Amino acid sequence: MERQSPHPTGGVDYPRTMQEFDEWFSSEDACTSYLAKLRWPDGFVCPSCGVAKGWMTARGQMRCAACQRQTSVMAGTLFEGTRKPLRLWFQAAWYVTSQKFGGNALGLQRVLGFGSYQTAWTWLHKMRNAMVRPGRERLSGSVEVDETYVGGKEEGVSGRFTEKKAVVAVAVEVHEPKGFGRVRLRQVPDVSSASLVGFVQEVVTPGSSILTDGWKSYDSLPQHGYHREKIVLSASGDPAHVALPGVHRVASLLKRWLLGTHQGAVSNKHLAYYLDEFTFRFNRRASHARGLLFYRLLQQAVQADPLRYRQIVDRKDHPLGPAG
Ligand SMILES: [Zn+2]
């Protein structure tokens, strides 16, 4: 179900400044009411009897006017079962969305005064999980596709690499005459046809034009209903010539972000979460209102299934499947 309001307005739907944020969310009740509005944009409907009438109790629950059943605003959302004030979550969401490059766990720990680094880390991952909208639409038109290699976390004084670099498949919409649209990124196990064409099928609408380099794994794209345009590097070897400028740009931004904001400390096991956050940010790069990012994040958070710490650590239980 599509619940995104097409044109949320600053100062009405979301706070525009830190000062507005503080004024709007000065109490737990204010935060709960805000979430209730995001969760039921057309008004509360009782999940038990379907009657569209109810009110909020003093304990932050919605009570059905017909069957009297109480529904927790937070049940079934990212915030389910939290023992921390909602207000703290809102501050965390504001922190993550108001930083130009997003926050890292150490920064969040400092801002919220958490005793534990692990709590901050878990919160960030829960929020990243909410950044991926379930059932989001696929890319279309002209789409560049290529692979890039990231990570290879280094550990210990010996400087020994404990992990190999991860393969990340990248898809970028190309606009005419210039400019790029949305991106999709996915960690893939290898550069085989199964992995790469499988990625394209997941993220790009059939009938689209796929621009790739000459790698043979992409040869079967036409059999799956895609037009393939093979872009071959100029024989002159001109270093200024970039065959797939969109992918090239996205890949270098991704690497810079992983090294800068996250100091290269992202392990392959958790890379998928960072790719989600990067995608969320990149696809909303044109919205200069940071408050709008905050709004979108919370809007998606009330639709997300609660994600428990164990699932984050061991992604094989994750609804999106293994990280690869
Ligand atoms: Zn009811």
Distance 44 CA to ligand 1 centre (A): 10
Average pLDDT over residues 236-249: 75
Q: Please state, in angstroms and rounded to a whole number, the distance separating the CA atoms of residues 227 and 140.
A: 12
**Phi and psi torsions of 139, nearest 5°:** -75, 160
* pLDDT given for residue 310 in this prediction: 53
- Portion of the chain with pLDDT greater than 70, in percent: 84
Render pLDDT for 292-308 as a digit per residue (tens, 0 to 9): 889 989 998 887 665 55
Render pLDDT for 107-127 as a digit per residue (tens, 0 to 9): 999 999 999 999 999 999 889
Q: Please state, in angstroms and rounded to a whole number, the distance separating the CA atoms of residues 266 and 257.
A: 11
Q: Please state, in angstroms and rounded to a whole number, the distance separating the CA atoms of residues 291 and 97.
A: 8
Distance 52 CA to ligand 1 centre (A): 8
pLDDT above 70 (res 208): yes
Distance 119 CA to ligand 1 centre (A): 36
Distance 89 CA to ligand 1 centre (A): 29
Distance 73 CA to ligand 1 centre (A): 14
Distance 87 CA to ligand 1 centre (A): 28
Distance 173 CA to ligand 1 centre (A): 45
Q: Is 168 helix (H, G, I), strand (E, B) or coil?
A: strand
Distance 168 CA to ligand 1 centre (A): 47
Distance 189 CA to ligand 1 centre (A): 47
Distance 43 CA to ligand 1 centre (A): 14
Distance 51 CA to ligand 1 centre (A): 6
